[in-house]
Amino acid sequence: MKVMIVGGGGREHALGWKIARSPLVDDIIFVPGNGGTEEIGECVKADTGDSGALADIASRRGVDLTVVGPEAPLVAGIVDEFNSRGLKVFGPSADAAQIEGSKYFAKDLMEKHGIPTGRARLFTSFEDAREYVESTPAPLVVKADGLAAGKGVIIATDTDAAVKALSDCLVQRMFGDSGSRVLVEEYLEGPEVSILSLSDGRDVAHMVPSQDHKRAYDGDEGPNTGGMGAYSPVPLLDADTEAGTQRNVMNATVEAMAEEGIPYRGVLYGGLMLTGDGLKVLEFNVRFGDPEVQAVLPRLESDLVPGLLATIDGTISAYEMEWSPEYCVCVVLASGGYPGKYETGIPITGLRAASSDSNVEVFHAGTRREDGKVVTAGGRVLNVVALGKDFGNARGLAYQAARMIDFEGMHYRTDIGHRAARSGS
């Protein structure tokens, strides 16, 4: 069959790498893909925000399955467009994608169905919100309701910062309409874990847990980023807590959506925090986590494609995933200046040498080809991923490979997975 993958980051390269290994798949098209996906399939330029144009490509090219990577096209209704034209597509409908597209929708669903999450209040009026934060002790978390490209969550350590965040959203409209409604949430503390679950609207198949590293610098210092690295498994999540989370959070949410008459099909990403008061949901996403899935897919021994198809056909209860007991570490190599301003078009060296070990993969995130050479094209440039018999081994291999790669300004965290390695795994 022919598969089309929408998106152009490390997540889409990793998905393409895994999907290409399926005996069911002959051909892959990436829209738009990147400098790395060109080695797996054809890359077609198109606006990923234009679902009509993407559906045109899928029907013209005889695509049998489309896999949508990023959230924006899902929230905008790409799945509804494809379905109305009889095209097979992996992902939730626009209605179901509200679970990421509206933080209020998600919070309301969780409160109504007893899914554990932090307490929050919704505001549309700046005056009401200010009154509330002035009478509630900081720290508080201010969240723009809609999609804000990962920038709509502000941790306010004091009341002034909370008022400024409210003003940025509700008065200055820094996030446009996404910030016209705001949640003020209690501040939670603890390590974070991500769970990715495949759902057909009724049943669920869970992937192994992973942990992202959101801050830019070692020791979880510096500004928030899209994710500077990830690892799997997550030793701090013991088997009982993992099973409880699968049942009380992931299955419970899929059931809640079904009860609301909005069945959730696709991958549900639970962003969870292990607080002193138990595990709580920070957010749901409607896509595979990036870079989490880059640390999860190398451990998946089963074919992924039947799982993707089963979410559409309603047969996920019959899909079983076999996992390698190996440990996986993914290190993100970023452009100088990221997550702030950075340059692009900088030549990258050492890619071939870095991926020469059979336990190492280098997924491209922000790259493109220019005159046959790979150059930088984004903030997060490459994902160096290694499998090992323990975390020490996987980290050693990943960093050894990372050191072979070079581009001007390149920076990366040197402590990905260090917490897990310290726990003795």
Using CA atoms, how far apart are residues 112 and 228, in angstroms rounded to an integer? 34
Using CA atoms, how far apart are residues 46 and 103, in angstroms rounded to an integer? 29
Q: How far is CA 297 from the centre of its chain?
A: 13
| Minimum distance of ligand GLY from residue 132's CB (angstroms) | 28
Nearer to ligand AMP, 80 or 283 (CB): 283
From the list ligand GLY, ligand AMP, none, partner contacted by residue 282 (C-beta under 5 to 8 A by kind): ligand AMP
Q: CB atoms < 10 A from the CB of 65, how many?
A: 21
How many residues would you count in the chain? 425
Count of residues touching ligand AMP (by CB under 6 A): 12
Q: Taking a C-beta distance cutoff of 8 angstroms, is the pair 24, 302 a contact? A: no
Residue number with the shortest CB distance to ligand AMP?
283
Nearer to ligand GLY, 58 or 234 (CB): 234
From the list ligand AMP, ligand GLY, none, partner contacted by residue 247 (C-beta under 5 to 8 A by kind): none
**Residues in contact with 176: Cβ distance below 8 Å, sequence separation at least 6, in sequence order:** none
155 scored as a contact of ligand AMP (CB under 6 A): yes
Among 212, 303, 326, 361, binds ligand GLY (CB under 6 A): 212
Nearer to ligand GLY, 92 or 170 (CB): 92
282 scored as a contact of ligand AMP (CB under 6 A): yes
Q: Taking a C-beta distance cutoff of 8 angstroms, is the pair 57, 31 a contact? A: yes
For the window 326-365, what string marks contact with ligand AMP as x by the rule CB under 6 A? ----------------------------------------
Burial (0-12, 13-18, 19+ Cβ within 10 Å), 85: middle
From the list ligand AMP, ligand GLY, none, partner contacted by residue 155 (C-beta under 5 to 8 A by kind): ligand AMP
**Residues in contact with 20: Cβ distance below 8 Å, sequence separation at least 6, in sequence order:** 28, 40, 41
Question: Tokens 């899929």 identify what position?
Answer: 254
| Minimum distance of ligand AMP from residue 364's CB (angstroms) | 24
From the list ligand GLY, ligand AMP, none, partner contacted by residue 153 (C-beta under 5 to 8 A by kind): ligand AMP
For the window 209-238, what string marks contact with ligand AMP as x by the rule CB under 6 A? -----x------------------------
DSSP bridge partners of 331 = 229, 384
For the window 272-311, what string marks contact with ligand GLY as x by the rule CB under 6 A? -------------x---xx-x-------------------
Strand residue runs (E) in 57-152: 65-68, 89-90, 120-123, 140-144
Nearer to ligand AMP, 118 or 179 (CB): 118
Tokens, residue 155: 């941790």
| Phi, psi dihedrals of residue 140, rounded to the nearest 5° | -135, 160
Among 38, 42, 192, 313, binds ligand AMP (CB under 6 A): 192
50 scored as a contact of ligand AMP (CB under 6 A): no
Instruction: Reduce the secondary structure of 278-312 to three states and give it as a string.
Output: EEEEEEEECCCCCCHHHHHHHHECCCCHHHHHHHH
227 scored as a contact of ligand GLY (CB under 6 A): yes
Which residues of this protein are in contact with ligand AMP, per CB under 6 A? 118, 141, 153, 155, 185, 187-188, 192, 214, 271, 282-283
